[in-house]
Chains A and B, each alone.
Chain A
Amino acid sequence: MKKSLIVIAVSVLVLVIVAMIIGGWNLILEGLETAWNTAIQSALMLVVSFIVIAQIQILLSRERMDSWLGKYSGVKGIAISAIAGGLIPGGPYVYYPFAKSFAEKGLPAYILIAFLFGKHLYDFSRLPMEISLIDPQIALIRNLITLPIPIIAGLLAEYLLKNRTKANLFSEGEV
């Protein structure tokens, strides 16, 4: 979070300087006015989004996710794993260690791939943010288009990696 804040602050500073050179104070004020309007428009939706995100976090514990995985294999396993990826709340500090535990449980590598693609593309706890900060229609179209990707990626991984687990995934030096 701190790193992102530094990146944002430095980027803002650079753009403010560029705006000053190009259009002076008027352009800077125009940019700030755009930012203010966006903030006002999204304020209520942001508050509601955070409520939704936190309630999802409470509802879907890691233990609950754990119980869903490992029960199925093949296409069904890939679909469940992708959905579980989308449902697991939390940032990279939460889901990467969880995904790493798949190898210890002996789950095949394609389940891991489907899970990671599911987390990155579905991420249901991120959806309210996508809707409120970008645009509801764009969010809908994007989600519909990318819906099959974790399944396709999982199937591709199943075909390419057969039943290897992450533990022996690259031991033979090929994928």
Chain B
Amino acid sequence: MILTTAVLSAVALILFFVNRKENGKQVEGLKIGAKEMWQCLPLILGAFVLAGMIEVLIPGEFVRDWLSAEAGIKGIVLGTLGGLLLAMGPYAAFPIIASVLASGAGLGTVVALITSWSLLGLSKAPFESSFFGLKFFFYKSILSIPFCLAAGLIAQWIESLLR
């Protein structure tokens, strides 16, 4: 956690100086960041509470049978379905995904969940169908499903190698 924060801080510092050199809008960037954080804070805090409750409520048996590495393809299919239903932005979705991980879900399930949320998340449906038509949304979603399953399977294979 400390290393990640340090790396991110270094990236922030580099971007700050790049913006200073490129456009002089680095302070504006800080203001935008502060404003966005303030706007997202209630959502993030709410998501933390939701994630905390999920973590203590998911029954161990359910995790073992359906979400863990031992659950096999079941966990990946469930992860793909879960991502589809997770119709919310990253500030809300990521703490929930983290709680699923913390409860003991396998890498395959979590990767399928993130990939499916990214590609299939239902919150995108109104935008995609209104901008490009229902048919486009439908075909893009159909094209995305095998990618989510494949990503989950590869992650599961990686997890078996890491053990």
Contact = CB atoms under 8 A, between A and B. Distances in A.
A53 to B, nearest CB: 7
Contacts of A7: 87-88, 92
Interface of B: 1, 3-5, 8-9, 11-12, 15-16, 18-19, 22-23, 25-26, 28-34, 36-37, 39-40, 42-57, 87-92, 94-95, 97-99, 101, 107, 110-111, 114-115, 118-119, 124, 127-128, 131-133, 135-136, 139-140, 143-144, 147, 151, 154-155, 158
B133 A170 contact: yes
Given A35-B51, A121-B118, A30 B36 contact: no
Interface of A: 1, 4-5, 7-9, 11-12, 15-16, 18-19, 22-23, 27-28, 30-36, 38-39, 41, 44-59, 91-92, 96-97, 99-100, 113, 116-117, 120-121, 123, 126, 128-136, 138, 141-142, 145-146, 149, 152-153, 156, 166, 169-170, 175
Contacts of A45: 1, 4-5, 8
B118 A120 contact: yes
| A interface: dominant SS | helix
B115 A121 contact: yes
A160 to B, nearest CB: 9
A56 B45 CA distance: 24
The 10 nearest A-B residue pairs measured at CB: A35-B52, A54-B33, A55-B15, A133-B94, A34-B52, A15-B53, A8-B46, A31-B53, A54-B32, A58-B29
Contacts of A52: 8, 11-12, 15
Given A1-B39, A48-B12, A92-B124, A134 B97 contact: yes
Nearest to B119: A120
A50 B91 CA distance: 11
Contact of A99 (B9, B43, B131): B131
